[in-house]
Structure 1
Amino acid sequence: MFDLTGFQRDLLYVIAGLDRASGQSVKEELEAHTGREITHGRLYPNLDVLVNRGLVEKGQIDRRTNYYVVSDDGVEALQQRREWEDQYVQF
């Protein structure tokens, strides 16, 4: 996870929180929380990075729409990241 950008980590967290997230639903979720527009040119290449690194699996809903789910490796990476964060952030 340390070699991912903050945006890529945010994508991974959002995908983990949604059920078979489409690219559009990921985009809408992040835009709602950040208040910033996310272009397709930024979104889809970064989703592809997560897929290529094996953190996310990509499937097809229909001919125009893909879905994204966190892979087992992605779940493990998220768990390790949370453990690492918990070492430093304690309330």
Structure 2
Amino acid sequence: MHDLTAFQRDLLYTIAGQDEPHGLGIKEELAKYYGTDINHGRLYPNLDTLVDKGLVEKGQADQRTNIYSVTRRGRREIEARREWENQYVGDTLEAED
């Protein structure tokens, strides 16, 4: 996951957190998070990069709608990232609660 941009990492997390996410649904979730519109020219090439890296699979719900799912490798990458993050902020955040 170290070779992903922050936006690609956010895409991966968003896909992992939804049931059969599709492009428009992913776009809407990210727009809420970023507080700005996400254009197609940014979204779809980055989704394709995640597919090319083997982190996400792309399927079809119908002729116009692609659905995305995190692969086993993608889930392992998410878990490894969370472990890495917890080394630095896990205890700190828990102490503040």
Tell me, what secondary structure is at the counterpart of 2:73? Answer: helix
**Residue 83 of structure 2: aligned partner:** 83
Q: Which amino acid aligns with 2:10?
A: D
- Report Cα offsets for 1:16-57 as digits up to 9, x if no partner: 000110010000001012111100000000000000000001
Unpaired runs of at least 5, structure 1: none
1:4 partnered with 2:21: no
Identity, in percent, stands at: 60
| Higher radius of gyration, 1 or 2 | 2
CA distance in 2 between partners of 1:55 and 1:37 (Å): 24
**Residue 13 of structure 1: aligned partner:** 13
CA distance in 1 between partners of 2:2 and 2:37 (Å): 25
CA distance in 2 between partners of 1:33 and 1:85 (Å): 20
CA distance in 1 between partners of 2:36 and 2:29 (Å): 11
Unpaired runs of at least 5, structure 2: none
How many residues align? The count is 91
Report the TM-score, using the length of structure 1 for normalisation.
0.98
Extract structure 1 runs of 4+ deviating beyond 4 A.
Answer: none
- Report Cα offsets for 1:58-88 as digits up to 9, x if no partner: 0000111000000000000000000000000
Q: CA RMSD in A?
A: 0.5
